Amino acid sequence: LPKILEKGGQISLLAERLKQAREAKGLSQSECARRTGASQAAYCYYEQGLRTPSSQMLIRIADLLDVSLDWLVGRSDKEKTED
């Protein structure tokens, strides 16, 4: 499995995809935080790779951003699930 968080200053794949998906939806970090129930600081830390969201928070974020959970955490290259 791919590493979700990288040590040594590398931005994690999770952090990169969080930012990519949020920007694609045209949402601010503060809006994502508000709509998922995270603090603004926590959400910012998620995108910086400084903090790892809980599994419940990852599900909320994936639902909000309309991406698959597997894509978000690097288990798939398919951004959206097939219906």
Q: What is the pLDDT of residues 25-35, one digit of tens each?
A: 999 999 999 99
Task: Please give the structure tokens belonging to residue 18.
Answer: 């969080």
Whether residue 19 is predicted with pLDDT greater than 80 in this model: the reply is yes
Task: Read off the pLDDT band of 1 (50, 70, 90).
Answer: very low
- Looking up tokens 């990852």 gives 58
The more confident residue out of 82 and 77 is: 77
Give the separation between CA 79 and CA 59, rounded to whole angstroms: 14
User: Taking the chain, what is the end-to-end CA distance rounded to the nearest angstrom?
Assistant: 24
Q: What is the pLDDT of residues 31-74, one digit of tens each?
A: 999 999 999 999 999 999 889 899 999 999 999 999 999 999 88
